[in-house]
A and B are shown apart, each in its own frame.
Chain A
Amino acid sequence: MEIPYAVKARPDTGLYNAKMGIWLFLASEVMLFGALFCSYILLRVNAPEGTWPHHWLNIWMGMTNTLVLILSSVMVVLSWASLKMGNFRQYKIFQGITILCALVFLGIKSFEYHDKFMHYQVNLKDGRVADGHLQKAETTGEVVAIEGRWVEGAEELYDPALGHEGKLIKIPRSDIKTMENYGPWHNTYLAIYFTLTGLHALHVIGGAAVIFAIWGPLAKVWEQDPERYINRVEVSGLFWHFVDLVWIFLFPVLYLL
């Protein structure tokens, strides 16, 4: 039994099945991320004046990642076009760059995550607050060492750009009331940051895995059924563009605004 229009487009819709399917799937993805962006807006609007953080993320890293993803999107289009023109070698190169871009993106992202998990806010028993990155090498059973600064006011905590230069601070553990790193539990901004970028990263991993599977293990389909192969590249490419587009929204929302 053959399912009709699995490869060739249906004349009256102009689409083959998988292309129709992926567009519908992307529509539902828009609703998924749409709901999360709406949650972001609601949480931010609800936050009391002056408690929404600014400059907690490194803009240059976000910017680099944005450019990396845009580059990967261009590569996806070029690789699809190469296949359309029958140039399989060129396709291999372009799509290889796409996969590389995905890895670079994930590398930068995990560096940023690591940076947040090493970032601690330390509340001392005397009421002072220190904020900075944990220095594992110099932290011992008695002393916690962080590379950071003493925080003078709440606004400085929410916008580190207002603070002064960082330095190495050593705090005896007996002076510490609580210390917590900048994980999703730290505050609502970080919670939505980790949720949005985490879900996006899962999409990057999924998309890259599919693109890699078509590029590598399934490449022999090109010889047997080139049209089906091009369709697969197109459908995975559509998904990849969507993943990039989500980041295009995430970057300003989380890094710039």
Chain B
Amino acid sequence: MENTIDNKHARERGREKPGFWRGYVFSTDHKVIGIQYGITALMFLFFGLCLMSVMRWQLANPGAPVPILGKLLFRVLGEGAVSKTGVMLPDLYNAFGAMHGTIMVFLGIVPLAFGAFGNYVMPLQIGAPDMCFPRLNMASYQFYVLGGVLMMASFFIPGGAAKSGWTSYSPLATVTDMNLRPNGQTFWIIGMVFLISSSLLGAVNFITTIIQLRARGLGWMRLPFFVWAQFVTAFLLLLAFPPLEAAAVLQLMDNLLRTSFFLPTGLVVSGQALHISGGGSPLLWQHLFWFLAHPEVYVLILPAMGIVTEIIANNTRKPIWGYRSMVYSVLTIGFLSFIVWAHHMYLTGMGTHIATFFQTTTMMISIPSVIILTSLFISLWGGSMRLNTPMLFALGFLPMFGIGGLTGLPLGFNASDIQLHDTYYVIAHFHYIVAPGTIFALFAGIYYWYPKATGRMMNEFWGRVHFALSFIFMNLVFMPMFIQGMAGMSRRMYDGGATYAASGGVVGLSPRVIGLNVNISHAVWALGLAQIPFIINFFWSIRRGRKAASDNPWEATTLEWQTSTPPPHGNFEREMEVCRGPYEYSVPGASRDFTPQNEMDNLEPATNGNPVRS
């Protein structure tokens, strides 16, 4: 009986098996799309790191030719970007800076955390056969690729890529390369419109799927925390991105149709009064931009928290402490994140009353964040911890996110922000959240779900090496930036603060503070090298890795582990029914230390709750 059913499924699957194009390129299967997102996003992350590695050379050795790459960059990007000897010119430095931010945030982390993990894991965790709208899902990935291609192409057009920071503040963004239309900024805006559309399609799909396709018995308080995190993230993307789309449309009008939405009356550029109608408001851009970009910060961090929660529950072999408070906290974060945006604008002269309001809400939003972090820390208490690679990265996430979060408080207060605004302190603060924070969680997720996607484990030893080196060098990169920032070193300086050193006296920075640039640069390059074990491990293990012991190698409770590996098209061979919460580890009296969500109460499980397969 069992056998015939299996054969039937095998036949069905065989019939459905699509060719190369339908199967890998234009697939509508959420798992394939998730992997497409994942690999594309990892490549962008690595490219973003490379941009920064070149910039760090310029910061450590201002005006010195870039070794090895200098000549190559000269040949590829031409005379305006790099001098004949291979020195990076200011315009290229600005372009790399702007593109580093844009790529890391919009093409790297969001697609990896939301597009890849959300797509691959979320439908499995809720017991759904696929996303609600598989074709929209495919379109979402294609828009993402299009946006990415436009951003990449902008490096090679006359004038080079956008160079007004990832925030693209107007009027700077509009008056840069004004004689060239379309310029890098035009490409940036149109690329962003594609990326926004991609996120929008993804967000609609995610929310609908979570609401409509939960398996029978999977009530809201039985959802794994990862699903909750993705749910709130999707709402942030859905509601926060459209204002940026509006802003992008307005800036595109300024850029191409000579309107003045963000250009004030009487604007003078290089001593020349501009022929514009004027009457616009530079602050308007900042409001619209940060209305997206602050929720965006939570888009970057919430999926990471979700991943870490899954891994901590699994490897401490006990339920998450305070699951309900975490769920309410994540919802509160989602709501509050819409009313904190202007804390990025204390120094714009928008007025002290507004600043006071945003200071208050900013302090309020730290409360739910602390609740989540504390719950995760307390969850460790008394657990019999397994220190495998995913768990190491998850454990690394906790203090790193802690440092990132706590150092944000001085930036949230008006008074202390006056000193710290636009210094390296800010860079250190948000990188602690996003780099050793979110990226560590993403690494944890890759090591954790890799056996589900491929059926093989990644190498444990090289995983640990990857973790140890990344952990050390991440801190060596970002910790000194706190010191530089508190000493008053401004960000976005082409010469890494050498001007300050030359000025001496009260305004001058001590050579030791500026000298830290060299140490940081060394650490960045070492951090880049430390990713090599990961890259090799990632590709080598696809075919050569140790075979996963079963469909559920980590002995986890959530639904994605209760199907075959890799899951077939349609995910589950029979309809899932959920009878318990997500983290039933070490239940007293149970035969094993984990009880899968779909396990009936009075039933001895077959192998891992899966039907016996021949």
Alpha-carbon distance A2/B134, docked complex (angstroms) = 11
Alpha-carbon distance A51/B260, docked complex (angstroms) = 15
Chain B 197-231 per-residue mask, 1 if CB under 8 angstroms from chain A, else 0: 00010011101100111000000000000000000
How many residues in B have their beta carbons less than 8 Å from beta carbons of A? 45
Interface flag for B261 (CB, 8 Å)? yes
Alpha-carbon distance A208/B239, docked complex (angstroms) = 25
- Are the C-beta atoms of B246 and A39 separated by less than 8 Å? yes
Given A46-B281, A184-B257, A191-B259, do A21 and B16 touch, yes or no (CB 8 Å)? Answer: no
- Are the C-beta atoms of A27 and B238 separated by less than 8 Å? yes
- Are the C-beta atoms of B239 and A188 separated by less than 8 Å? no
- Are the C-beta atoms of B250 and A13 separated by less than 8 Å? no
Given A31-B239, A35-B291, do A1 and B129 touch, yes or no (CB 8 Å)? Answer: yes
- Are the C-beta atoms of A43 and B247 separated by less than 8 Å? no
Chain B 116-144 per-residue mask, 1 if CB under 8 angstroms from chain A, else 0: 00000000000011101110000000000
Q: Which residues of B contact A185 (CB under 8 A)?
A: 257-259, 276-277
Tell me if B's interface is mostly helix, strand, loop or mixed. helix
Could you tell me the distance in whole angstroms from the C-beta of A198 to the nearest C-beta in chain B? 9
Chain B 238-261 per-residue mask, 1 if CB under 8 angstroms from chain A, else 0: 111111011101100100011111
9-residue interface stretch from A3-11, A133-141, A143-151, A210-218: A3-11
Q: Which residues of A contact B259 (CB under 8 A)?
A: 184-185, 188, 191, 195
Could you tell me the distance in whole angstroms from the C-beta of B233 to the nearest C-beta in chain A? 14
| Top 6 A-B residue pairs of the complex, sorted by shortest distance between their CB atoms | A35-B243, A32-B242, A35-B246, A191-B259, A1-B570, A31-B242
Within A1-53, the residues touching B (CB, 8 Å) are 1-6, 10, 13, 15, 17-18, 20-21, 24-25, 27-29, 31-36, 39, 42-43, 46-47, 51
- Are the C-beta atoms of A28 and B239 separated by less than 8 Å? yes
- Are the C-beta atoms of B208 and A31 separated by less than 8 Å? no
Tell me if A's interface is mostly helix, strand, loop or mixed. helix
Alpha-carbon distance A34/B245, docked complex (angstroms) = 11
- Interface size class on chain A is 35 or more
Interface flag for B80 (CB, 8 Å)? no
- Are the C-beta atoms of B246 and A187 separated by less than 8 Å? no
Which of B212, B242, B260, B287 neighbours the largest number of chain A CB atoms within 10 Å of its CB?
B212
Given A1-B570, A3-B130, do A32 and B245 touch, yes or no (CB 8 Å)? Answer: yes
Q: Which residues of B contact A220 (CB under 8 A)?
A: none
Alpha-carbon distance A51/B241, docked complex (angstroms) = 32
- Are the C-beta atoms of B132 and A1 separated by less than 8 Å? no
Interface flag for A228 (CB, 8 Å)? no
- Contact among A20, A32, A195 for B253, CB-based, below 8 A: A195
Given A3-B130, A184-B257, A188-B277, do A42 and B284 touch, yes or no (CB 8 Å)? Answer: yes
- Are the C-beta atoms of B281 and A28 separated by less than 8 Å? no
- Are the C-beta atoms of A32 and B246 separated by less than 8 Å? yes
Q: Which residues of A contact B241 (CB under 8 A)?
A: 28
- Are the C-beta atoms of A43 and B207 separated by less than 8 Å? no
Q: Which residues of A contact B240 (CB under 8 A)?
A: 31
Q: Which residues of A contact B212 (CB under 8 A)?
A: 4-5, 10, 13, 15, 17, 20
